[in-house]
Chain A
Amino acid sequence: MAPIGKPAGWEAKRSQALALGLAPALVVLTVITLGPAVYLVVTSLTPLNLVNPQSALDFSHPLGNYRDALTDTRFLNSVWVQIELSVATVVLQIAAGLATALLLNAHSRFLEAIRTAFLIPMVLPPIVVAIIWKVIYTPDVSPVHRALAALGLPLASLIANADSAIWAIVVADSWEWFPFTMLMTLAALQMIPSEPIEAATIDGASRLQLFRYIVLPYIRPTLVVCALFRLIDSIKAFPLIYVLTNGGPGTATEVTNYYGFQQAFNFSYWGYGSAIATMMVAGVFMLSSIIGRLDQRLGDNA
Chain B
Amino acid sequence: MTLLAIVLFPFLWMLQMSFRPNDDIMGYSVRFVPTMQNYLSLWTGNFPKSFANSVAVSSSSTVLSLLIGVPAAYALSRGRFRRRRAIAMWILATRMAPPIAFTIPFFLAYRYLHLIDTVAGLVIIYLTFNLALVIWMMQGFFNSVPRQLEEAAWIDGCTVWGTFRRIALPLAAPGLAATAVLCFILSWNDFFFALILTRTSAMTAPVAIVNFMQYEGWEWGKIAAAGTLVMLPVLVFTFLVRTYLVRGLTAGGLKE
Residues of A within 8 A of B (CB): 3, 5-6, 13-15, 17-19, 21-22, 24-26, 28-29, 32-33, 35-37, 39-40, 43, 100, 103, 114, 116-128, 131-136, 140-141, 143, 146, 175, 180, 183-184, 187, 222, 225-226, 229, 232, 235-236, 238-239, 242-243, 257, 260-261, 264-265, 270, 273-274, 276-278, 280-281, 284-285, 288, 292, 299
What's the Cα separation between A3 and B125 when bound, in Å?
43
B92 touches A17 (CB 8 A): no
User: In angstroms, how far is the closest chain A Cβ from the Cβ of B221?
Assistant: 10
B161 touches A21 (CB 8 A): yes
User: In angstroms, how far is the closest chain A Cβ from the Cβ of B155?
Assistant: 8
What's the Cα separation between A273 and B253 when bound, in Å?
30
Which residues in A have their C-beta under 8 angstroms from that of B98?
235-236, 257, 277, 280-281, 284
Residues of B within 8 A of A (CB): 1, 3-4, 7-8, 10-11, 13-14, 17, 25-26, 28, 68-69, 71-72, 74-76, 78-81, 87, 89-94, 96-109, 124-125, 127-128, 131-132, 135, 151, 154-155, 159-161, 164, 185, 188-189, 191-192, 195-196, 206, 209-210, 213, 220, 223-224, 227, 230-231, 234-235, 238-239, 242, 245-246, 249-250, 252-255
Given known A22-B81, A180-B250, contact A265–B75 (CB-CB < 8 A): no
Which residues in B have their C-beta under 8 angstroms from that of A5?
155
- Please list the 10 inter-chain residue pairs (A to B) with the smallest Cβ-Cβ separation, ordered nearest first: A25-B72, A21-B71, A36-B105, A18-B79, A39-B105, A22-B75, A127-B206, A17-B160, A18-B75, A125-B189
User: In angstroms, how far is the closest chain A Cβ from the Cβ of B28?
Assistant: 7
B72 touches A243 (CB 8 A): no
B234 touches A183 (CB 8 A): no
Q: How many residue pairs at the A-B interface have CB separations less than 8 Å?
A: 235
What's the Cα separation between A100 and B4 when bound, in Å?
10
Among B195, B227, B255: residue with most chain A CB under 10 A: B227
User: In angstroms, how far is the closest chain B Cβ from the Cβ of A274?
Assistant: 5
A22 touches B71 (CB 8 A): yes
What's the Cα separation between A128 and B155 when bound, in Å?
53
Given known A135-B224, A280-B100, contact A125–B231 (CB-CB < 8 A): yes
Which residues in A have their C-beta under 8 angstroms from that of B151?
3
21 contacts between A and B (CB under 8 A): A13-B160, A19-B81, A25-B69, A35-B105, A40-B101, A121-B11, A123-B185, A131-B227, A135-B220, A136-B10, A180-B249, A183-B250, A187-B254, A229-B252, A229-B253, A242-B191, A280-B100, A285-B93, A285-B96, A288-B92, A299-B255
User: In angstroms, how far is the closest chain B Cβ from the Cβ of A221?
Assistant: 10
User: In angstroms, how far is the closest chain A Cβ from the Cβ of B17?
Assistant: 7
